[in-house]
Structure 1
């Protein structure tokens, strides 16, 4: 599948996620190229009369939303969010995912925790049988970088400290470092999450294991919608294919 076809899938997944929006909602806006499709689609519907406000997981998403005319609320003022729409790096059939390729994993996780409904959207390459094919980002305080590097190496998997194109170390919006771990296969995501959370200086990791309510994965001209069984009323349950 070529890049153009994948972009069309992202756009289709974003359009499908709009089924969950209603007037009066506060909508969480994710980060990254797939989430950007959702932001543009929300803006189009706001222009057509949809009455929602939004709060963003990153300055880039905030700037895009404001530029497109979506009423914005700073997350510092927010106690709860009705629905968040975000992209994923990969997701399995149990709605466990890896996120954070763009470096906004901590804020994405915070906004997801504040949300009544969390929807993840993606193209067909994002669905996997087992997590770990893509790098797992781990956000680390610069003060703890050396210690965290040694401790993460003890996990026995290749890792790198993320850099920008100019060679400088990548910094998150919290001015923290990202270490990218290449597992290939993560046999026990829950245990790995507990291990990472126990390392002093690690402030976030990219495993999203209980936060996701709905996944929308586009495959060509179709979408597969998968929901948690106890998801909010109206979202449905199980797997649904849409054409």
Structure 2
């Protein structure tokens, strides 16, 4: 199966999970990325079952609205029964690296609202230890150089994320992203807490405080379901 086929397969599996585990009239939590796009597309025929959706990015909001979903401000909800999102890496305990699409801060906000965080991905995203994928850090622009120095002191190699035309990438929140290579994250929770405490960091792409509760992983032989303790 191609990677696109695997993404469609796991997107459909997530639809089946959500329909089986939520009642009518709830608010659906929706993440960002190409795999989540497959989930949104597959969920579209069932949109009238939901009160609406909260979305982690402008891109997902536009796709949801295109399919006729009502997109709700997260400030208007106290919780969502399930949040569905992808991952750039996920370890055996459900800790993840996310933010390849630049929506990491909003993704953490929605994950913290969710009763159940379901990670959807192809099986290649499963790793024994986080750090192979560059670690995103969303920073206030005036703190970029400060954060770069702190990352280098840990042994990391930070690069300012850029658009194809060479200009600095700007998140939906108006900030910049440093992508950090060369770090192995043996203790995701401690590392996330350490970097989040640096002045000028909005958030960073290790999801340990908001790790996945379960994973749906597409393989050549079908969907593998993993529940993280």
* Shift of residue 123, structure 1, vs aligned partner: 0.9
**Could you tell me how far apart the structure 1 residues matched to 2:50 and 2:82 are?**
14
| Counterpart for residue 14 of structure 1 | 11
Cα 1:124–1:184, aligned 2, differ >3 Å: closer, same or farther? Answer: farther
- Residues 1:228 and 2:225 are matched in the alignment: no
**Could you tell me how far apart the structure 2 residues matched to 1:220 and 1:50 are?**
31
Residue by residue over 1:166-207, the C-alpha shift from the partner in whole angstroms, topping out at 9 and shown as x without a partner, is: 100011111111000113532222222122022111110011
* Shift of residue 164, structure 1, vs aligned partner: 0.5
| Counterpart for residue 240 of structure 1 | none
**Could you tell me how far apart the structure 2 residues matched to 1:224 and 1:112 are?**
22
Q: Partner of 1:122: helix, strand, or coil?
A: strand
Report how many aligned residue pairs link the two structures. 224
| Counterpart for residue 31 of structure 1 | 32
| Counterpart for residue 205 of structure 1 | 204
Gapped regions of structure 1 (runs ≥ 5) = 230-243
Q: Partner of 2:155: helix, strand, or coil?
A: coil
* Shift of residue 87, structure 1, vs aligned partner: 0.7
Say if 1:134 and 1:182, in contact at 8 Å, map to a contact too.
Answer: yes
**Could you tell me how far apart the structure 2 residues matched to 1:191 and 1:106 are?**
18
**Could you tell me how far apart the structure 2 residues matched to 1:51 and 1:191 are?**
37
| RMSD of aligned alpha carbons | 1.5
Gapped regions of structure 2 (runs ≥ 5) = none
Say if 1:137 and 1:206, in contact at 8 Å, map to a contact too.
Answer: yes
* Shift of residue 41, structure 1, vs aligned partner: 1.2
* Shift of residue 44, structure 1, vs aligned partner: 2.4
* Shift of residue 141, structure 1, vs aligned partner: 0.4
Q: Partner of 1:217: helix, strand, or coil?
A: strand
- Residues 1:42 and 2:40 are matched in the alignment: no
| Counterpart for residue 76 of structure 2 | 77
| Counterpart for residue 134 of structure 1 | 133
| Counterpart for residue 168 of structure 2 | 169
Say if 1:25 and 1:83, in contact at 8 Å, map to a contact too.
Answer: no
**Could you tell me how far apart the structure 2 residues matched to 1:226 and 1:210 are?**
19
* Shift of residue 221, structure 1, vs aligned partner: 3.6
Q: Partner of 1:137: helix, strand, or coil?
A: strand
**Could you tell me how far apart the structure 1 residues matched to 2:174 and 2:4 are?**
30
Say if 2:27 and 2:50, in contact at 8 Å, map to a contact too.
Answer: no
* Shift of residue 110, structure 1, vs aligned partner: 0.3
TM-score (norm 1): 0.87
* Shift of residue 53, structure 1, vs aligned partner: 1.5
Say if 1:132 and 1:182, in contact at 8 Å, map to a contact too.
Answer: yes
